[in-house]
Structure 1
């Protein structure tokens, strides 16, 4: 069994010696793939376009929007006045995430008895980008 494997290895090494182009492809293509993959991972996902539907228009909601915009992963690009406009931007792919701040957000924030909630909608066509965007928004 070991003799067969060693003969096969010897045959392949002789073949590599005869065909320089094959050797070049076998060595160069995986190295090139490794470099491209490393570059793609290094860049990461940042500056994801975000659309904001601020129904409260208070100081607290503007501060929340500012905090979202100050993250490396998110960039607030659009402000809309209706859910239809927000859906349109998400459907077109111009925005990757939407944040809906409901009316009365500032009052709920001031009241300790009421839970404060905002709605975050992520475009899940790119699951990795959606996951990173959601975790960045949750951290704010």
Structure 2
């Protein structure tokens, strides 16, 4: 090749240009080649199919976002029918398992901070009388914030469960709303 031809052809490519589909053609050829290889190697094909299926089954059963029997402390400052109905309703949900009955707020806080319980339910003194008078009192539910999935699931069911349980005890009022406030504190 002469120097003149080299200068004339310097700006041109010597290979034929691809029209934009070259990438997809090469990718398709590679995928076809890999499937041909997989057809020859049955062990690799079985692993490619079975490992994700096994992971799906294992994690589907192992990762359960519905908590059960969460250890709960109770601070019942008055022994009333309404307070016992609320506690019985919470215990019947299988979300809460009452492990401790405490007699002071300090003991209540110590159990939550030490991690011995995940929830605490406090029904204050004069609660039933305030509900019957229509004063809209507050019931405290303290939740351990270190496990947000368990706390969220249990707390989402709380008001519905309490409302259902109180339909028998409280016959007056709007059935769609609670006659008291449930105050949730994450600690």
What TM-score, normalized to structure 2?
Answer: 0.64
Q: Do structure 1's residue 57 and structure 2's residue 67 form an aligned pair?
A: no
Q: Do structure 1's residue 131 and structure 2's residue 167 form an aligned pair?
A: no
Q: CA RMSD in A?
A: 2.2
Cα distance, 1:43 vs structure 2: 7.5
What's the counterpart of residue 105 of structure 2? 83
Cα distance, 1:17 vs structure 2: 4.5
What's the counterpart of residue 28 of structure 1? 50
Cα distance, 1:19 vs structure 2: 5.2
| Structure number with higher relative contact order (C-alpha < 8 Å, ≥ 6 residues apart) | 1
Bigger proportion of residues as helix: 1
Aligned length: 139
Is the Cα–Cα contact under 8 Å of residues 77 and 124 in structure 2 kept in the other structure? yes
1:6-61 deviation digits (Å, cap 9, x = unpaired): 21112322443465554343222211111022213567322222111111222321
Structure possessing the higher radius of gyration over alpha carbons: 2
Cα distance, 1:88 vs structure 2: 2.6
What's the counterpart of residue 92 of structure 2? 70
What's the counterpart of residue 98 of structure 1? 120
Looking at structure 1, the residues matched to 41 and 33 of structure 2 have their Cα atoms a distance apart, in angstroms, of 12
Is the Cα–Cα contact under 8 Å of residues 74 and 136 in structure 1 kept in the other structure? no
Is the Cα–Cα contact under 8 Å of residues 51 and 99 in structure 1 kept in the other structure? yes
Bigger Cα displacement from structure 2, 8-17 vs 78-87: 8-17
What SS class does the counterpart of residue 138 from structure 2 fall into? coil
Is the Cα–Cα contact under 8 Å of residues 75 and 123 in structure 2 kept in the other structure? yes
| Compared CA separation, residues 110 and 77, structure 1 to 2 (3 A) | same
